[in-house]
Amino acid sequence: MKRPLNLLLTGLLIAGLGTGIYFSVNGQIKENSVTTVTGLIGSEKEAFFRDPEVIAALKRRGLSVQYTKAGSRAIAGQDLSGLDFAFPAGTPAADALKKRVKAQQVFDVFYTPLVVASFDPVVQVLKANTLASFSGGFGTLDMRALLKVMTTGTRWNALKASAAYPSSRSLLISTTDVRSSNSAAMYLALISNLQNGNDVVQASTLDTVMPLVSPLFLRQGYQESSSAGPFEDYQALGAGKTPLVAVYESQYLAAARAKTLPAGAALLYPSPEIFTKHVLVPLTPAGVRLGEALTNDPALQRLAARAGYRTRDASLFMAEVKATGETVPSSLVDTVDLPSQEVLEAMIVNIQNQYPK
């Protein structure tokens, strides 16, 4: 009886060993089946790609993303050799990339409006001067009225009720460097539209519009090259450095979720408003796979909404916003259109040529 029993045990041992080897090998094959996709992204999307749940969701799709950050306009002109995708903010940069690399398709992954991050005392002064209203947890910034004040060089301490914010700084909205960053380009598109009689700027109206909008960038002094920089200053340095700063709504909401907004933070929506699309431009088949996953995977779309981005499912976005404790408009109706990529580029170059060489 012992011999058959020994044979049975030996057989079970061999079978178990074989099973272990099988699953070990298959696990290795499964691990090796994950494709590493490399690319350039706008800095505002770094937190999204660093999210462990995003990393896990992408891995389930057989993808792992490695990226380098850059300003969105800068991405459009960078060397893309060896990369699988480019993911700037804004259709102008994406359109320029699409033409340059002759991409057959691009992916509108998500979008976000431009907002102005501020502080309660600053908002008090704006309200007293009928430049802003505030109700329901967020404010509305009257851009037409504000432009009239900013273009005259008015300082904060010259405004009515300025005791709430008695700064001698010029009243300006701080932006990124328009020469490299999309958020500043969106602000340029917005204010140029207003200074052009509420019409999209054309090549024929550039000479009239540019003297009105260029000083609002040139008077700011040093500007960061990507959208992460001004928002970090807003969080760390307060109203003394950035009483009004143009950022993406997604940045503000992500900070609200992470509980890193500064004390007295206030969210203002420009009226009229302008949107930024975040468009992925694939450069290889692996880049196409990433674009498809980010656009169509329900888990990744939910995580995008959690990161503060608006997606095709508005109810999903609003549910995620509610979890942050913030209140935002579910939709924005009063919006302006972008000028053509060529006209916007001409405006940026016009400002660029006015900086000291």
CA 332 to CA 113: how far, in whole Å?
9
pLDDT at 161: 96
Q: Is residue 31 part of a domain?
A: no
pLDDT at 41: 95
Taking residues 109-115, report their average pLDDT: 96
Q: Is residue 197 part of a domain?
A: yes
Write out pLDDT tens, residues 276-295. 999 999 999 999 999 999 99
Among candidate residues 226, 200, 196, the one with its CA nearest the CA of residue 213:
196
pLDDT at 225: 78
Taking residues 95-116, report their average pLDDT: 94
Residue 315 has pLDDT above 70, yes or no: yes
Write out pLDDT tens, residues 228-261. 888 999 999 999 889 999 999 999 999 999 999 9
Q: Which residues pair with 178 in a beta bridge?
A: none
What percent of the chain has pLDDT above 90? 76
Taking residues 3-22, report their average pLDDT: 46
Pairing status of strand 132-135 against strand 138-142: antiparallel
Enclosing domain of residue 261: 113-275+333-352
What percent of the chain has pLDDT above 70? 91
Domain shared by 257 and 302, yes or no:
no
**Helix and strand numbers, DSSP H then E, in the chain:** 16, 9
**Residue 144: CB partners within 8 Å, gap ≥ 6?**
194
Highest mean pLDDT among 25-39, 227-241, 316-330: 316-330
Domain shared by 302 and 159, yes or no:
no
CA 184 to CA 78: how far, in whole Å?
19
Write out pLDDT tens, residues 33-48. 899 999 999 888 999 9
Higher-confidence residue of 275 and 20: namely 275
pLDDT at 227: 80
Among candidate residues 249, 218, 271, 275, the one with its CA nearest the CA of residue 117:
249
Higher-confidence residue of 50 and 136: namely 50
pLDDT at 45: 93
Domain shared by 314 and 202, yes or no:
no
pLDDT level of residue 105 (50, 70, 90 thresholds): very high
Report the amino acid identity of residue 40.
Answer: L
Q: Is residue 8 part of a domain?
A: no
CA angle 262, 266, 267 (to 5 degrees): 120
Domain shared by 346 and 205, yes or no:
yes
For residue 202, give Cα distances in angstroms to 277, 319, 347: 21, 39, 10
pLDDT level of residue 32 (50, 70, 90 thresholds): low
Judged by average pLDDT, the poorest of 6-20, 48-62, 262-276 is 6-20
Domain shared by 123 and 267, yes or no:
yes
Q: Are 40 and 226 in contact (CB under 8 A)?
A: no
Write out pLDDT tens, residues 153-186. 999 999 999 999 999 999 999 999 999 888 999 9
Domain shared by 179 and 250, yes or no:
yes
**Cα 116 vs. chain centroid, distance in angstroms?**
13
Domain shared by 180 and 199, yes or no:
yes
Tokens of 113: 């409006």
pLDDT at 44: 87
The helix (H) or strand (E) run that includes residue 132 is strand 132-135
Q: Is residue 134 part of a domain?
A: yes
Domain shared by 73 and 193, yes or no:
no
pLDDT at 9: 44
Highest mean pLDDT among 40-44, 64-68, 218-222: 64-68
| Domain at 296, CATH number | 3.40.190.10
Burial of 94 (0-12, 13-18, 19+ CB in 10 A): buried
Global pTM value: 0.86
pLDDT at 353: 95
Domain shared by 344 and 199, yes or no:
yes
Number of domains in the chain: 2
Residue 89 has pLDDT above 60, yes or no: yes
R_g of the chain, CA atoms, integer Å: 25
pLDDT at 180: 85
Domain shared by 51 and 149, yes or no:
no
Residue 75 has pLDDT above 80, yes or no: yes
Q: State the residue for tokens 């509420």.
A: 198
Domain shared by 135 and 206, yes or no:
yes
Q: What would you measure as the largest C-alpha separation in the chain, in angstroms?
A: 104
Average pLDDT of the chain, as a whole number:
89
